[in-house]
A and B are shown apart, each in its own frame.
Chain A
Amino acid sequence: EDQVTQSPEALRLQEGESSSLNCSYTVSGLRGLFWYRQDPGKGPEFLFTLYSAGEEKEKERLKATLTKKESFLHITAPKPEDSATYLCAVNRGSTLGRLYFGRGTQLTVWP
């Protein structure tokens, strides 16, 4: 079953055009929701972890938020170097580090 669904699959933004990526999840006993960035040919790079509804985390132009059913990754005034695939993952609590990933959102920011 799909436990993590990300939308949209692909997003093209002009530089400076803010937007949000969505991650919806259907797991009980959430023990953390994670955002990773992945560049082509590389492994995922950790961005944020969120543990409870209402929690927010920020890093440069990125801000992650969490509700009881979904998480958003807000990108403010993106730059071309923000182009990457953004992956959302959850830990259900059975095993720390066993993450269930979504398929990702491929973000392209053009100048």
Chain B
Amino acid sequence: DTGVSQNPRHKITKRGQNVTFRCDPISEHNRLYWYRQTLGQGPEFLTYFQNEAQLEKSRLLSDRFSAERPKGSFSTLEIQRTEQGDSAMYLCASSPPTLIPRKWGQGDFGANVLTFGAGSRLTVL
């Protein structure tokens, strides 16, 4: 298992263009999350999938943002009509099903233990 994979790692685009990021989670993880991190800040939750269903979206996720997870495997995050304020690191994370045997001291809430990818850095000019 190679962990959570994100592509592209870096994207530079002009204001108004559309961009798409891809995330491949750990294969046995059914939960997938998108977070956004700006310089000097901690990651902020954007949205969450359980299998192919998008179950929660943050108010940060404006109507220019759309995320999909077809077939419950990889996920894409698209930003339409990018703005300079969209410049950030977009992080994908995955986690296993809720009830897992106690392992590495993680307890029963395995779903709370997120494995993050390296992120996709977006710069909007």
Contact = CB atoms under 8 A, between A and B. Distances in A.
Is B truly associated with A? yes
A46 B56 contact: no
B40 interface: yes
Contacts, number: 76
Contact of B109 (A31, A41, A46, A100): A31
Contact of B119 (A31, A42, A102): A42
B21 interface: no
Interface of B: 4, 31, 33, 40-45, 48, 55-56, 91, 93, 95, 98, 105-107, 109, 111-119, 121
Contacts of B121: 41
B119 A97 contact: no
A25 to B, nearest CB: 13
A103 interface: yes
Contacts of B56: 95, 98
Nearest to B106: A49
A34 B112 contact: yes
Interface in A27-62: 31-32, 34, 36, 41-46, 49, 51, 57
A99 interface: yes
